[in-house]
Amino acid sequence: MNNSKPFLRIENISKSYNQGTPQEVTALHKLSLDVHEGEFVSIIGSNGSGKTSLLNAIAGAIKLTSGRILLNGDDLTDTPLYDRAKHISRVYQDPGGGTSSSMSVEQNLVLASLRGSRAGLWLGVTAKRREQIKNSLKELGIGLENRLGEKVANLSGGQKQAMAMIMATIIKPKILLLDEHVAALDPRMSRLIMEMTEKLVQSHGLTTLMVSHDMELAIKYGHRLIMLHQGNIIKDLPEAKKAQITEQELIDEFRQLRHKEEELSKN
Amino acid sequence: MQELFLSSFQQGFVISLAVLGIYISFRILNFPDLTCDGSFSLGGGLAAVLLAAGINPYLGLLVVLAAGFVAGACTGVLNSRFKINPLLAGILMMTMLYSINLRIMNRPNYPLLDLQTILKPIEDMGDYSQIALVVFLGVIALFFKLLIDFFLKTEIGLVLISSGDNEKMTQGLGFNTGRIKILGMGLSNALIAVSGALTAQQFGFADISMGIGIIIVGIAALILGESLFHPKTTFVHTLAIIIGTIIYYVIVSLGLRMGLAPTDFKIATALMVIAVLIFRFKRSENE
């Protein structure tokens, strides 16, 4: 798999805010990354290291200062977010972020199943679609199939996040971006959603980038581990190396980085 | 007394179209749209001029519908394309519409007496004309209500609802929320313009200032209906809006009977809205 041409190519991207002023902040600094089709990449890094900025850049939520992003050879750099979203789906940390709370469970899922196609002036929730939705919800085993008509506002955070996961994958995306998507959940629900994530990613062979500040999760899941610092990649471990690394080693590494930074700011 | 109820129903049905429009912008799209004051007058003025020109009143209504749509879509473009604040976008459009309406009407007040309006055949029915008018206007209101109910169940309708509810997520599903908002604002103001056109035909004149304060009337009727019915589905919500508007006009007519000066209408309506909002706030505080 790793010998094939890169599927997602990130070329030398930078993003700074307030450029040319004393308040200039660099979120991404000449970052390059190649991701192969079907690869599941875990991304870690301290606050402000550029994790979320990287996902924002791929999704099109921020405009780059420089650099290019290519998906399957197509230059996406100037493609607006909603256009990229036809192929790139994202699940956020906030469980409410991935659903429309004033709509019913089935309406949300129908909407998600329209990803990449044109919405028309015909009925959204049809009997056929309802049946399909019911079947895909049954597989989850959390009882959502019996609450199709219920407003999403009435669901728990975990249930909303489970819905967001299905909505992100009901039409197979070319890239799946997971932005600390289990960080806001309790441990039981977080485990459940991670298991569900793994199952969905594997069964669809999804190319996935998962940002996490939980190092245990980052080590346990995925084929590759990337560590970000000051807007660039400082560590890129393939699967074999990733299997050997321990949480403690990563924590030590972070500590050293922080130490270095403090030394620098003292001088 | 009977007369009071008949006229409240007539006016309620006509204005409920505007309130349904305000429901689309204010509730579904979360867009406090002030265009409506202008698009209501636009509907009235345009209908008057078209009728005076001898155009078929139903065809005239279609033209009004289209004009209202364009007005609302312009506000939508100002906001979603050029990122102008929603309130300001509405005010700008409303202000421009004032000049446009004066251009269309060529005078501030345009009488419609003796013209072949939509309502004329029914008004000429004699003894039962007032009741027939209630039925006719009720059918029109129901027609638009059911149309909106259906529209909000379509794929585009679902995208519209989710755009107002969670724009980020809707864009994240690959939908151009800017375009859908423009469509929603267009539909909203199309309804409001039609409401203005029917109002002018009902009262026998169009006036440049007939739309002033329609937003507050709309919000009053909207929250009256919502407070009474606590709607959970679109079908009930739009029905609650129609009934809320009728109740609003019953209250207004009773107020007039009890000696409220017509010039104090607007402050009374605004105070009513404030009272309901304070009541809701207090209740949510206690929960």
- Domains of chain B, by residue range, sit at 2-286
Please answer yes or no on whether A81 and B172 come within 8 Å at the CB atom.
Answer: yes
Contact between A161 and A95 under an 8 Å Cβ cutoff? The reply is yes
Model pLDDT, residue A2: 46
B172–A89 CB contact, under 8 Å: yes
The shortest C-alpha distance from A61 to chain B (Å) reads: 10
Q: What angle do CA B275, B281, B283 make, to 5 degrees?
A: 105
Thinking of the domain A8-102+173-266, which architecture would CATH place it in?
3-Layer(aba) Sandwich (3.40)
CA–CA min distance A85, chain B (Å): 4
User: For all residues of chain A together, what is the average pLDDT?
Assistant: 91
CA distances from A253 to A210, A228, A235, A248, A260 (A): 20, 12, 10, 9, 11
**A52 reaches B (C-beta below 8 A):** no
B81-100 per-residue burial string, b: 16 or more CB within 10 A, e: under 16: eeebebeebbbbbbeebbeb
B33 SS3 class: coil
Q: Which of A82, A104, A110 to mutate to test the interface with B (most CBs of B within 10 A)?
A: A82
What is the reported pTM? 0.92
**Cα–Cα distances in Å, from B76 out to A30, B67, B181, B250, B262?**
38, 14, 6, 34, 34
Q: What is the CATH number of domain B2-286?
A: 1.10.3470
Does the beta-carbon distance from A81 to B156 stay under 8 Å? no
Q: How is the beta sheet containing A66-71 ordered, strand by strand? A: A25-35, A8-17, A66-71, A74-75
Strand segments (E) across chain A? 8-17, 25-35, 40-45, 66-71, 74-75, 88-91, 175-179, 207-211, 224-229, 232-237
Give which of B160, B167, B159, B176 is closest to A98, Cα–Cα.
Answer: B167
Residues of chain B with pLDDT under 50: none
**Which amino acid, residue A257?**
L
Of B155, B156, B161, which is closest to A102 when you measure between CB atoms?
B161
Helix (H, G, I), strand (E, B) or coil at B83: coil
Cβ of A122 and B174 within 8 Å?
A: no
Say if residue A1's pLDDT is above 60. Answer: no
pLDDT over threshold 60, residue A198: yes
Q: Which of B155, B172, B176 lies at the smallest CB-CB distance from A90?
A: B172
Tell me A180's DSSP state.
Answer: S
Residue with tokens 């790139």: A88
Nearest chain A Cα distance for residue B180, angstroms: 10
Nearest to B172 among A85, A101, A151 (CB): A85
A 10 A CB-CB count for A9 gives: 18
Model confidence band, residue A267 (pLDDT cutoffs 50, 70, 90):
low
Distance CA B133, CA B126 (A): 11
Pairing of strands A40-45, A207-211: parallel
Summarize pLDDT for A89-143 with one digit per residue, the tens. 999 999 889 999 999 999 999 999 999 899 999 999 999 999 999 998 888 778 8
H or E segment at B16?
Answer: helix B2-22
Of B239, B177, B198, the closest CA to residue B11 belongs to: B198
Across the interface, do A82 and B171 touch by the CB < 8 Å criterion? yes
Nearest CA distance, B184 vs chain A (angstrom)? 14
Number of residues that make up chain B: 287
Instruction: Report how far apart, in Å, the C-alpha atoms of A151 and of each of A106, A108, A147 are.
Output: 9, 9, 9
Helices marked H in A85-181: 105-113, 127-140, 157-169
Q: What is the pLDDT of residues A138-177, one digit of tens each?
A: 887 788 999 999 999 999 999 999 999 999 999 999 999 9
The string of DSSP codes covering B105-159 is: HSSSEEE-TTS--SSHHHHTT-TTHHHHHHHHHHHHHHHHHHHHHHHTTBHHHHH
Q: Does the pLDDT of residue A53 top 70, yes or no?
A: yes
Tens of pLDDT, residue by residue over B111-145, are 998 889 999 999 888 888 999 999 999 999 999 99
d(CA A164, CA A109) in angstroms, rounded, equals: 9
AA letter at B164: G
Give the helix/strand (H/E) hosting A264.
helix A247-266
Q: Give the best residue of B158, B165, B170 to mutate against chain A (max A CB count within 10 A).
A: B158
DSSP state of B25: I
Say if strands A224-229 and A40-45 run parallel, antiparallel, or are unpaired: parallel
CA-to-CA distance for B187 and A259, rounded, in angstroms? 59
Tell me the C-alpha distance between A25 and A41, whole Å.
26
- Rounded CA-CA distance A250/A247 in Å is 5
The span from the CA of A213 to the CA of A230, in Å, is 15
Gyration radius (Cα) of chain A, Å: 19
Nearest to A208 by CA among A90, A45, A109: A90
Instruction: Give the Å distances, CA to CA, from A216 to A117, A212, A246, A248.
Output: 38, 9, 8, 10
Q: How far is CA A150 from CA A105, A135, A147, A154, B53, in A?
A: 6, 17, 5, 7, 52
What confidence score (pLDDT) does residue B243 get?
A: 98
Q: Which of A17-21, A222-226, B161-165 has the lowest mean pLDDT?
A: A17-21
pLDDT at B180 (0 to 100): 97
φ and ψ of A12, to 5 deg: 55, 45
**Nearest alpha carbon to residue B185 among B47, B80, B44, B48:** B80
B165 at A interface, C-beta within 8 A: yes
Q: What is the pLDDT of residue B41?
A: 98
**Token couple for A59:** 């999704």
Bridge partner residues of A15 (DSSP) = A28
Q: Hey, where are the domains in chain A?
A: 8-102+173-266
* Cα B126 from chain centroid (whole Å): 30
- Alpha carbons A259 and A6: distance in angstroms, whole number: 35
Instruction: Convert the pLDDT of each residue in B237-276 to its tens digit.
Output: 999 999 999 999 999 999 999 998 988 888 999 998 999 8
Cα angle, residue B161 at apex, residues B191 and B276 outer, rounded to 5°: 70
Round to whole Å and give the CA distance between A198 and A215: 16
